[in-house]
Amino acid sequence: MSLILFQRDNCHLCDQALASLARAGIPDFESVFIDDDPALDERYGTRVPVLRDTATGEEWDWPFDAECLRGLY
């Protein structure tokens, strides 16, 4: 499974999402900051943080917690 966390700079919810990923023991994911990308900003805007499974295209909007993330692995 390949995961991408779409986030913004200086985003307290994004910090909480990162903490949830750590608590869930998710070992590997890519962080993508949408601030300087107009297309991503338009797509995700106020939805961030958003976690995306690149294999399936499934996306999880915040809030997601460690319990639901543990089910990914």
Map residue 16 onto helix, strand or coil: helix
Q: Do 40 and 6 touch, CB atoms closer than 8 A?
A: yes
- Give me Rg for the CA atoms of the chain: 11
The 10s digit of each residue's pLDDT in 5-28 is 999 999 999 999 999 999 888 888
Whole-prediction pTM value?
0.90
Task: Measure the CA–CA gap between 14 and 35, rounded to whole angstroms.
Answer: 13
Domain parsing of the chain, residue ranges: 3-70
pLDDT range class, residue 70, cuts 50, 70, 90: confident
The reply to whether CATH 3.40.30.10 applies to domain 3-70 is yes
pLDDT, averaged across the chain: 91
Can you tell me the distance from the alpha carbon of 11 to that of 2, in angstroms, rounded to the nearest whole number? 23
**pLDDT (0 to 100) of residue 65:** 76
